[in-house]
Chains A and B, each alone.
Chain A
Amino acid sequence: MTLNSIFFILFSITLILSSVFSMVSKQMIYTLLWAMLVFLMVAGLFLLLGATYNSMVQFLIYVVAIPVLIAVSIMLINQRGQNNQLFKRKYSLWVLIGIFFLILIIGEFLSLNNDFFEIIRSCSVYVNPYSDLYSITRNLLGVYPVLLLEFAAGIVLTIVGLSYYGK
């Protein structure tokens, strides 16, 4: 079990669970916090795939900039007491149909056995030498320590501010 596999499983499970929690949570602030976690995990998957620059862009735009924009819009709209629930009665049939098709498509993907999917399954992901997790961490901590501090402080400030507003 490699380090890449461990991080992939961790990121993907967190991504799927937090996306579902984001959809079913009642308050908009918690929806936004779970969505931030989803975007962060997508940035982590980009990092694992070797797209370090894309990962940083994803981080800066989706985890730092867009939550601030949405939080300001929630404060402006101030929609407390409004309906934030999913459709329950009318559209539950559509949910079931969607889940059915989701299972069907995933099963289709799993059962396909022709050459194209065999090639995709057999190839391992290309990771360039500069995107190794150790080297990225070494670069972040060694060459640009200020950037890491800025990212951490930005995330902590955003989460603290949103949690304070949520109360």
Chain B
Amino acid sequence: MGNSIFHCVTTYNYQIVSLILFFVGLLGVTLSRNLIKILISLEFIMNAVNLLFISFASYKSEQAYLGYTLVIFSTGMSALVLSVGIYFAYILHKKFGTIDVIKIYDKYKETGKC
């Protein structure tokens, strides 16, 4: 590569960091059993996408504020998703007594209703 990261930080470096954060979030969503941990991993994915948007928006200085505005809406939406998900987790905990997704599924299979 022509430009070293120590010499000049490019949008490419931000995209690599965003990709790694996205995959850590994806692994957290697929591998964790705790419902709140899954929601936090979802927030990691949202943050990775926001970082990607901001890095692309910073590439063109004239249209930078378009991407910035989009990310503000995205941040609000992800906070909304998290709050609704936590409410669902609380409801599931009241119903089944656990927030372990495997146990919830087993209990759902036993009773046949949610």
CA distance A20 to B68 in the complex (A): 27
- A98 partner residues in chain B, CB cutoff 8 A: 23, 26-27, 30
Q: Are A23 and B28 in contact (CB under 8 A)?
A: yes
Q: Are B13 and A8 in contact (CB under 8 A)?
A: yes
CA distance A2 to B3 in the complex (A): 13
* A-binding residues in B (CB < 8 A): 1-3, 5-17, 19-21, 23-28, 30-34, 36-37, 39-41, 43-44, 47, 50-51, 54-55, 57-61, 64, 68, 71-72, 75-76, 79, 82-83, 86, 89-90, 93, 98-100, 103
Stretch touching chain B among A41-49, A147-155, A159-167: A41-49
The interface bits of chain A over 1-35 (1 if a CB of B lies within 8 angstroms of the residue's CB, else 0) are 11011001100100110011011000010011001
With an 8 Å Cβ cutoff, the count of chain A residues facing the other chain is 65
Assuming A9-B5, A53-B72, A62-B43, what are 14 further A-B pairs, CB within 8 angstroms?
Answer: A5-B5, A19-B24, A35-B44, A38-B44, A46-B54, A62-B79, A69-B83, A77-B89, A84-B34, A95-B27, A98-B26, A106-B20, A123-B10, A128-B61
- A126 partner residues in chain B, CB cutoff 8 A: 58-61, 64
Q: Name the prevailing secondary structure of the B interface residues.
A: helix
Q: Are A39 and B47 in contact (CB under 8 A)?
A: yes
A77/B90 contact (C-beta < 8 A), A5-B5, A58-B75, A84-B37 known: yes
**Who on chain B is nearest to A12 by CB?**
B17
Q: Name the prevailing secondary structure of the A interface residues.
A: helix
Q: Are A20 and B24 in contact (CB under 8 A)?
A: yes
Q: Are B30 and A28 in contact (CB under 8 A)?
A: no
* B-binding residues in A (CB < 8 A): 1-2, 4-5, 8-9, 12, 15-16, 19-20, 22-23, 28, 31-32, 35, 38-39, 42, 45-46, 48-51, 53-54, 57-58, 61-62, 65-66, 69-70, 73-74, 76-77, 79, 82-87, 91, 94-95, 98, 102, 105-106, 109, 117, 120-128
CA distance A126 to B56 in the complex (A): 10
**Who on chain A is nearest to B32 by CB?**
A86
Q: Are B34 and A73 in contact (CB under 8 A)?
A: no
- B82 partner residues in chain A, CB cutoff 8 A: 66, 69-70
A120/B12 contact (C-beta < 8 A), A79-B98, A128-B61 known: yes
* Min CB–CB distance A155 → chain B (angstroms): 18
- A117 partner residues in chain B, CB cutoff 8 A: 12
**Who on chain B is nearest to A76 by CB?**
B90
* Min CB–CB distance A141 → chain B (angstroms): 24
CA distance A49 to B54 in the complex (A): 7
